[in-house]
Amino acid sequence: MEYRILGTSDVKVSAITFGAWAIGGWMWGGAERKDALEAILASYDNGVTSFDTAPAYGQGLSEEIIGEALQQIPRDKVQILTKYGLRWDVKKGEFFFNSTDNAGNPIDMYRYAGKESVIEECENCLRRLGTDYIDLFQIHWSDKTTPIEETMEAIALLQQQGKIKAGGVCNYTADEMKAAEKVVSLAANQVPYSMVLRDIEKELVPYTRQHNKAIIAYSPLQRGLLTGKIKPGHVFNDGDTRAGNRFYTDENISRINAFLSGIKPLAESKGATLAQLVIAWTIQQPGITVALVGARNAEQAIQNAKAAEVVLKPEEIMFINDRLAQLELVKPS
């Protein structure tokens, strides 16, 4: 496993980090708690030291599971990355969307990052995680009703108090990062990035590379699509947000699977799965610091961690990139 510093902070994380949304259940179906705990511990045993979660993932459940698992590991050997700014328990800020909790009860999600709310959320996160500090505290989504400077004042205060080591953002533009930087030095921006979704390479990656900020890439497998296991005609479960998404039309699934068939021999030559090859490609892209990958059980966790052992030569990355350049996805009309 390779370990990388987040920006100019003191936080060093594993290049492959455990993404804990799925184990929280919310919008993902969840996992058996025993399996989730085993997945976290298996990740650590295979070199993954960093765990990314959020209060919204199961309305606290994901953080509680992470906290329970990490009681079995020395705290200074792991890095806890969590978030703030998505509230379901108060109706403040910017309405985001309607949802349901794990019990099927309706909830309203709000983006809210007022100073007092950020401080309150930090205390709640620390309690659920069973720790006295958070390595990286990230705003989950921007809140247009609160000045960025006010939000970041809370982060600066929490850093001074030793409750967080570093502050980060998620889903921020370069301009939003610039505004935040007037108050605090950001460590990282967590954004979607995959072989088939590379929008951030235009503006965000050049900005973060120039200013020495980390990029934490989420959904590097494009929510399962880049494993090759999803076939045309796939029926998604009720509530699965992939249904109707432009990437998951039969035509685009077919085109992506054809691309994957073309790079599969490279994966096989390295004794790797397609998913491992995709993860390895992701963490070897310029400006990409971390790939977030989820697992519902120990076997999945081990397979994810082993992607770090897949070393790609420059000409192999070029081979993949050339194939990607030929991949044309159908855009919605």
Q: Token pair of 231, please? A: 């076939």
- How, if at all, do strands 134-139 and 106-111 pair? unpaired
Q: What percent of the chain has pLDDT over 90?
A: 80
Distance CA 255, CA 32 (A): 34
- Does this model's pTM top 0.85? yes
Q: In the predicted model, what is the mean pLDDT of residues 303-308?
A: 96
Q: Which residue has the tokens 């979660």?
A: 53
Query: Which strand (E) or helix (H) includes residue 317?
Result: helix 314-326
Give yes or no for residue 218 having a pLDDT over 90. yes
Computed over every residue of the chain, the mean pLDDT equals 93
Residue type, 308: A
Cβ atoms 295, 39 nearer than 8 A: yes
Compute CA distances 56 → 50, 107, 125, 239, 333, whole Å: 19, 11, 11, 16, 33
Q: Do residues 220 and 291 touch, judged by C-beta distance below 8 A?
A: yes
113-117, 169-173, 227-231, 290-294: range with lowest mean pLDDT: 227-231
Dist. CA 274–CA 268, nearest whole Å: 8
Element (H, E) at 83: strand 79-84
Instruction: Tell me which residue has tokens 């993954």.
Output: 48
State the catalytic residues: 57
pLDDT tens-digit profile of 57-84?
988 899 999 999 999 999 999 999 999 9
Decide: 233 and 203 in contact? Cβ < 8 Å. Answer: no
Q: What is the pLDDT of residues 239-263, one digit of tens each?
A: 666 777 788 888 889 999 999 999 9
Tens-place pLDDT, residues 272-292: 999 999 999 999 999 999 999
Q: What is the mean pLDDT of residues 87-92?
A: 94
pLDDT tens-digit profile of 29-58? 656 888 889 999 999 999 999 999 999 998
Domains in the chain, start-ordered, CATH in brackets?
Answer: 3-224+279-311 (3.20.20.100)
pLDDT for 158-186, tens place per residue? 999 999 999 999 999 999 999 999 999 99
pLDDT of residue 31: 67
**What three-state secondary structure class fits 10?**
coil
